[in-house]
A and B are shown apart, each in its own frame.
Chain A
Amino acid sequence: MNDVRRIGPGRGSVIASLRELWGGRGLLRAIAGREFRVRYTQSILGVAWALAHPLVLMGVFTVVFGKIVHVGSEGQPYPLFSYAGLLPWTFLATGTTLAMRSLVAHVDLVTKVYFPRELLPLASLAASLVDFLIALGVFLLVFLAYGRVPGASWLWLAPLIMVQAVLAVGIALFTAALNVRFRDVKHVMPLMLQAWLYMSPVIYPMASVPDRLRGVFALNPMAGLVDGYRAVLLHGHAPDAALLLTSAAVSLLTLILGWAYFHRVEAYFADVI
């Protein structure tokens, strides 16, 4: 009559896990919707808080690096230049931070109900993706306010968003699973993200990276993404192909390794958390 399930020691097959993950998409929507709504209930500004992070950083960067230190901005107004870079960065930083905490934050669910565990970090990222899209809408308004008009190159946003999502999911799955076992992760991660921000061309243009460091820099998946966003949004041309492909490859590898670790340890989450 029905499917028979075997529950034994160790982990299930990869195919079965992926099928189950697909079956859980309704629940993903429910949890992501909850995350999004809960985050802004009882706050006066509500969804406007989604914009606070990139806007405040844009303001600070513009004053410090645009007016005081005079970092190059590829001939663009510094606010536009930094905001374009902050778009993927903010999504990655806030999304993965929330996702990293997601399993531990839902102890009651993890220890009392079964569902594909990936759904919790994925839901955090989905909610952050909505924030990202709102921030992108605001970028459009600022862009228009500067008297500029979006061109066909903006269509490149679709693959860029896909690459950043793949990267974020990989990091989210790995850090969320690791945080179940080692709570040290929640202390280490903000530090790592801080360092990563400075190592990525968010504040400064990719062009100011010395040639001999460029190869190493390109391995940072955020380099291709940030540079890609600027090419597409500000310069009206396609992203640097080599840079973006490197980004995509590293992101995919991150996803595979991140999920492999998650899959290896998820059976014991409820025992350890």
Chain B
Amino acid sequence: MSSEALGQDEAIRFEGVCKRYRLGRGGAWAGDLRDEAGGLLGRLLRRNPAPPTVDALAGVSFSVRCGENVALVGANGAGKSTALKLVARITVPTSGTVWVRGRVASLIQIGAGFHRELTGRENVFLYGAILGLTRGAIRDRIDAIVEFAGLERFMDTPVKRYSRGMFLRLGFSVAVHVDADVLLIDEVLAAGDREFRERCFDRMRTLVQSDKTLLFVSHQRELVEKTCDRALLLADGRVTADGSVADIWRTYAAS
């Protein structure tokens, strides 16, 4: 694929990215047949104006260098998660372009794809595959994953018997062992007890110091300050400030 649009040391670039959602039951695209038929009829009779829309992202441009750790900061609905979803290719922009270099792992929802009826071990393989690891790669890492989660005794138990904390610990352990160039993280460290959070912190620091690129959405100031070297402030789908974490947090707190 061509790489002329992305500089040698660039990992992510947003170019005038807009993401528009249609409001109401239909989402971005359509509803059920009844909505569709009704809408069509309305348009034919020129009764219904175009459905109301909201721009989750309204012309966002920024660039992230390889190995940089960037926090997205802003109020709920500012467009942080939408930005992550675009990088993760979960959805596509309405206009504009997102460029991404290398493999992306989206840790947007820890344990997405875990199945309650399957054992911890089976779920490690499944979730690992979902995050893009091959079977062999998971087999190589399973001991490390289990040890990190501290769930050696429970690996052959169905995860429906797990507590919520255990569930998240297992999910996070798999997630931090993925092999990707760009990691997307959305408020995941809120889980687990103090001791496990400390371990996650350490792991995050290792990831931060590596050449991996991090795009991080969090409302936890302490965590953001420890892991990120730059922050973007988003408000109403626009980037309103770009700078050091401390500066951005001050601006955010003042707004």
Residues of A within 8 A of B (CB): 1-10, 26-27, 29-31, 34, 37-38, 41-42, 106, 108-115, 181-184, 265, 267-268, 270-273
Contacts and interface: CB of A to CB of B under 8 A. Distances in A.
Contact of B91 (A37, A38, A270): A270
Contacts of B104: 114
A1 B86 CA distance: 22
Given A4-B101, A9-B96, A30-B129, 11 more contacts: A2-B102, A7-B92, A7-B98, A26-B135, A29-B135, A42-B117, A108-B112, A109-B130, A112-B108, A113-B88, A272-B29
Contacts of B131: 113
Interface residues of B, number: 52
Given A2-B103, A268-B91, A108 B109 contact: yes
Counting from the closest, the 8 A-B pairs by CB-CB distance are A271-B28, A2-B102, A30-B129, A4-B3, A7-B98, A112-B109, A114-B89, A112-B112
Interface string B66-102: 0000000000000000000111111111111111111
Contacts, number: 136
A9 B92 contact: yes
Contacts of A267: 91-92
A30 B137 CA distance: 14
B106 A113 contact: yes
A251 to B, nearest CB: 27
B21 A184 contact: no
Given A6-B1, A9-B95, A113-B131, A30 B118 contact: no
B45 interface: no
Contact of A271 (B3, B91, B109): B91
Contact of A6 (B21, B26, B91, B97): B97
B117 A7 contact: no
A183 B32 contact: yes
Contact of B113 (A5, A9, A37, A113): A113
Contacts of A41: 117-118, 158
A7 B135 contact: no
Contacts of B112: 108-109, 112-113
Contacts of A42: 117
Contacts of B125: 30
Nearest to A3: B1
B50 interface: no
A34 B118 contact: yes
A7 B29 contact: no
18 contacts: A6-B2, A6-B99, A7-B97, A8-B96, A9-B95, A10-B92, A30-B125, A30-B130, A31-B126, A38-B118, A112-B90, A113-B106, A113-B112, A114-B88, A114-B90, A183-B32, A184-B33, A265-B29
B126 A30 contact: yes
Given A108-B109, A109-B113, A181-B30, A5 B100 contact: yes
B144 interface: no
B92 A8 contact: yes
Residue of A6, A29, A108, A267 ringed by the most chain B CB atoms within 10 A: A6
A41 B98 CA distance: 43
A266 to B, nearest CB: 10
B90 A272 contact: no
B101 to A, nearest CB: 5
Contacts of A8: 92-93, 96-98
A181 B89 contact: no
A38 B89 CA distance: 28
Contacts of B29: 181, 265, 268, 271-272
A27 B158 CA distance: 21
A10 B97 CA distance: 11
Given A183-B32, A272-B30, A34 B102 contact: no
Contacts of B87: 7
A273 B135 CA distance: 29
Residue of B21, B86, B95, B113 ringed by the most chain A CB atoms within 10 A: B113
